[in-house]
Amino acid sequence: MTIPTLEETVSEPQNSPYDAAAFSAAALANRRSLAAVIDHTLLKPEASRSQVLKLCAEAAQYGFACAMVNPAWVATAYSALAGTGIPVGVVIGFPLGAGLTTTKRNEAEAMLCLGARELDMVLNVGLLKSGENALLEADIRGVVEVARDSGAIVKVILETCLLSLEEKLLASELACSAGVDFIKTSTGFSTGGATPGDVSLMRGVVGTRCGVKASGGIRTLDTVRAMLEAGASRIGASASVAIVEALDSSSQ
């Protein structure tokens, strides 16, 4: 039996306004519901096998949305999470997004074969800034097509800190039109991370057509709350355990 996600449970019908208040309230109701919207993340280049295994154990213990790792650790994470119901997430074209579409597709196919079920691909910012909208959408759609064949989901990282207001609007629309499941703010490896303003802007573009993931610099419960209230339906964080445990402390 497939268990519906929190987003599926509280989201509005297609083309109706997104109810950020209702989603935020549901996510913050308890530790388990909050964990269910957080991608427990470890993308440091120096991350060791023992750290990846710890991440996976925590993902299973707390019920995080996924364990997000670098490509080299997907097989390890998949083995560690077998039977837990927690999917493995992986980054594609990370952190620059400037590779060939064929390279991204090949990487996505390899990661899916190793057990990944959530693909966070980086937008080709150079194509966006060059006005190559058709090529950019095709780049995204190439990974989406690969993912669909395996029943996986795709999140596209816009790297909002590098974009103008107009570029954020356009990138959000192009990614959504390409069929992604989420648009995402940041890699956490550039000049800035998620902001409530960017999350609100992105949600305003996509409405209920896809999710919005806030990531990059999210380390506290207050920041998570602000992102959810702005319209995020998924959070990416490495401080996930501290965040969900802070919810227990705040309710006492």
Phi, psi values for residue 130, rounded to 5° = -90, -5
Note if 213 is an active site residue: yes
- Between CA 63 and CA 23 the distance in angstroms is 18
- Out of 104, 155, 168, 184, pick the active-site residue: 184
Tokens in use for 156? 């596209």
- Out of 104, 155, 168, 213, pick the active-site residue: 213
- Out of 120, 139, 181, 198, pick the active-site residue: 120
> In this structure, are residues 70 and 94 in contact, taking their beta carbons and an 8 Å threshold?
yes
- Between CA 35 and CA 161 the distance in angstroms is 26
Note if 184 is an active site residue: yes
Report which of 217, 127, 214, 118 is spatially closest to residue 170, judged by C-alpha positions.
127
Q: To 10 degrees, what angle do helices 240-250 and 221-230 make?
A: 90
| Residues belonging to the active site | 120, 184, 213
